[in-house]
């Protein structure tokens, strides 16, 4: 979305107002009328009498601008050693030219800072959210594809990935039977005990032991 600099400055001030005040309605009599008209026509703000409210899109746009501004401050402060008004002015210029992923690169370079040099929160970056999301996805897929032996059906096969048991003696039993990670197993029977084929041997284990053997690469 292309927004003029004066309109972006207003969105930025609105965000700060919302951070400071417990009111959703923002007084706008001091703001530039043209810029307000622009924001209204882009449907980023809505009038309520003589005050305005950010629309949900307006909220998202403000968040982006504030994020750029505070990341710019952080960069100018931490990397270039600037502070005070110089930093403010530079940040205000800089924020308008940070576009299309530049702020995410800066965010990464600065190790995803949570606060600007003034101690104000930097809206969390999508880069980090994305990374967290995909890590959670990977975990979910892994969890689904690695199951304890007790969850396998007759005829299902796979490879032992790891052994996990709270009881030391169970681990010893499992290892003594040669049930090592990487070994291929195929379930033959699930009751009364768990019987499975491993290479040329059939092995029977009780439920507690079977629960401690985790299988992946399921077929
Ligand atoms: Zn600014
Ligand atoms: Zn700041």
Residues with Cβ < 8 Å from 105, sequence gap 6 or more? none
Say whether pLDDT at 40 is over 70: yes
**76-130 per-position pLDDT tens digit:** 999 888 999 999 889 988 887 787 678 888 888 888 899 999 999 999 877 667 7
Q: Which ligand is nearest to the CA of 70?
A: 2
Q: Which ligand is nearest to the CA of 91?
A: 1
**120-164 per-position pLDDT tens digit:** 999 987 766 777 777 677 677 766 688 899 999 999 999 998 888
Residue 46 to residue 27: CA distance in whole angstroms: 12
Query: Region 52-62: what's the mean pLDDT?
Result: 95
Q: Is 169 left (phi over 0), alpha (psi -120 to 50) or beta?
A: alpha
Residues by chain with Cβ below 5 Å of ion ligand 1? 12, 69, 92
Under DSSP, is residue 216 helix (H, G, I), strand (E, B) or coil?
strand
Alpha carbon of 115 to ligand 2 centroid (Å): 8
Q: Which ligand is nearest to the CA of 98?
A: 1
């Amino acid at each position: 979305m292309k927004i003029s600099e004066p309109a972006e400055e207003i969105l930025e001030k609105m965000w700060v107002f919302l951070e400071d005040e417990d009111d959703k309605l923002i007084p706008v009599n001091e703001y530039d009328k043209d810029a307000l008209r622009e924001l209204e026509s882009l449907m980023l703000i809505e009038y309520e009498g003589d005050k305005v409210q950010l629309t949900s899109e307006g909220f998202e746009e403000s968040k982006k601008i504030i994020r750029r501004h505070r990341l710019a401050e952080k960069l100018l402060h931490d990397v270039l050693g600037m502070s005070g008004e110089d930093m403010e002015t530079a940040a205000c210029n800089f924020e308008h030219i940070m576009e299309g992923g530049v702020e995410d690169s800066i965010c990464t370079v600065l190790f995803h800072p949570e606060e600007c040099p003034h101690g104000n929160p930097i809206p969390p970056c999508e880069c980090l959210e994305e990374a967290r999301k995909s890590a959670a996805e990977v975990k979910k897929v892994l969890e689904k594809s690695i199951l304890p032996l007790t969850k396998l059906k007759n005829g299902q096969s796979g490879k032992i990935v790891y052994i996990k048991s709270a009881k030391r003696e169970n681990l010893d039993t499992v290892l003594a039977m040669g049930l090592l990670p990487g070994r291929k197993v195929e379930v033959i029977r699930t009751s009364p005990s768990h019987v499975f084929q491993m290479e040329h041997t059939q092995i029977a284990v009780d439920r507690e032991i079977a629960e401690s053997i985790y299988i992946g690469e399921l077929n």
